[in-house]
């Protein structure tokens, strides 16, 4: 059954999915999977949407070149509308029927069906239950596995250290969230520049050797 979203929930969902638009993610998924990822961090943001309070605990795993690898968001909507949703966003070029499999510390997997696929990403989701939250709080790592267009599993591990603090703690302010995003972009840009320099140095060394 498709999980029906209110306008407030859709706003929160869009905030997660579209937060990667600036990364200019290509459709070539295998390039994204091969890139070195940044170190993931859990954080929470909250906002007032219409007559509901929307909080999102999320983790954004991106490659050194700024491309999306995996994003996970636990969305809680309280007020006129009350909804809880777990959403995972992966690169495009996925096989649809397998969905995304979630495993916490190697336990039995939970399947998330895709809700929407866009040219640059696919998003899977399930209702967020207290049992899932409790498992994430107690767990050491969570693995999200999607199947790419080559029919190869693409498991992505995300540490759960810091999850409980983010979930139960205070939300970031808007300015803190913006500063975090700025620092993340700067770090990714620096890594990309270092990679480009290493490639250029290697090419120059090869030419000199010839």
SS in 3 state form for 47-75? EEECCEEEEEEEEEEEECCCCEEEEEEEE
The top-scoring range by mean pLDDT among 143-157, 164-178, 186-200 is 143-157
Class for domain 7-203, per CATH? mainly beta
Question: What per-residue confidence (pLDDT) applies to 89?
Answer: 95
The top-scoring range by mean pLDDT among 14-23, 63-72, 95-104 is 95-104
* pLDDT tens digits for range 136-147: 999 999 999 999
Helix (H) / strand (E) containing 112: strand 110-118
Number of H helices, E strands in the chain: 5, 9
**Residues with Cβ < 8 Å from 171, sequence gap 6 or more?**
44, 45, 46, 55
Domains of the chain, residue spans = 7-203
Question: What per-residue confidence (pLDDT) applies to 94?
Answer: 95
Helix (H) / strand (E) containing 157: strand 153-159
Question: What per-residue confidence (pLDDT) applies to 148?
Answer: 94
Position of tokens 């859709």? 10
Could you tell me if 147 and 98 are in contact, meaning their C-beta atoms sit under 8 angstroms apart? yes
Could you tell me if 55 and 65 are in contact, meaning their C-beta atoms sit under 8 angstroms apart? no
Q: Output the average pLDDT for the chain.
A: 80
């Amino acid at each position: 059954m498709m999980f029906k979203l209110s306008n407030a929930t859709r706003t929160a969902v869009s905030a997660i999915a579209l937060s990667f638009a600036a990364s200019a993610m290509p459709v070539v998924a295998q390039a994204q999977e091969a890139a070195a990822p940044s170190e993931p961090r859990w954080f929470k943001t909250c906002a007032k949407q219409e007559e509901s309070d929307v909080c999102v605990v999320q983790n954004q795993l991106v490659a050194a070149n700024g491309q999306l690898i995996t994003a996970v968001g636990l969305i809680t909507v309280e007020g006129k509308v009350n909804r809880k949703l777990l959403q995972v966003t992966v690169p495009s070029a996925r096989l649809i029927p397998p969905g995304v499999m979630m495993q916490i510390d190697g336990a039995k997997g939970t399947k998330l069906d895709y809700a929407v696929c866009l040219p640059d990403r696919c998003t899977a989701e399930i209702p967020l239950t207290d049992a899932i939250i409790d498992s994430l709080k107690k767990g050491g790592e969570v693995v999200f596995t999607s199947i790419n267009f080559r029919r190869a599993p693409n498991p992505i591990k995300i540490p759960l250290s810091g999850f409980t603090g983010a979930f139960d703690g205070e939300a970031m302010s808007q300015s803190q969230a913006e500063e975090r995003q700025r620092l993340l972009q700067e770090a990714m840009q620096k890594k990309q520049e270092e990679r480009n320099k290493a490639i250029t140095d290697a090419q120059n060394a090869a030419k000199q050797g010839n």
